[in-house]
Amino acid sequence: MDLVTSGSKVIVIMEHCNKHGAPKILKQCTLPLTGTRVVNMLITEKAVFEFQHNEMFLKEIAKESSLEDIKKTVEGEFHVVDNLGTF
């Protein structure tokens, strides 16, 4: 709880999908929350997202992935930046 209320930059690093291939990036969290709208960046093995003004932006995509794959494996809405990078 202290981390999400400290005013620090919050970066989440996680797997993109669960072991069954279902999205882990959801429209709404299904677990108890310690803070809301506190994540600044989300990094997975497939993509890098940044949060600005309560919106999610796709900033980078893995070379092994595609935009179509990201769209299929993200439940929530996101915007794609004009200068989409790869890693």
Residue with tokens 């900033």: 59
Q: Write down the pLDDT at residue 10.
A: 86
Q: Write down the pLDDT at residue 42.
A: 95
C-beta neighbour count of 28 within 10 angstroms: 6
Give per-residue pLDDT as tens, 36-73: 788 899 999 999 999 999 899 999 999 999 999 999 99
Q: Is 63 exposed, middle or buried (0-12, 13-18, 19+ CB in 10 A)?
A: exposed
pTM metric for this prediction: 0.84
Q: Write down the pLDDT at residue 5.
A: 61
Give per-residue pLDDT as tens, 18-40: 999 999 998 888 888 777 788 89
The CATH number that domain 2-86 falls under is: 3.40.1080.10
CB 50 within 8 A of CB 59: yes
Sequence spans of domains, the chain: 2-86
Confidence of residue 1 (pLDDT cuts 50, 70, 90): very low
3-state DSSP call for residue 6?
Answer: coil
Q: Write down the pLDDT at residue 38.
A: 82
d(CA 45, CA 15): 6
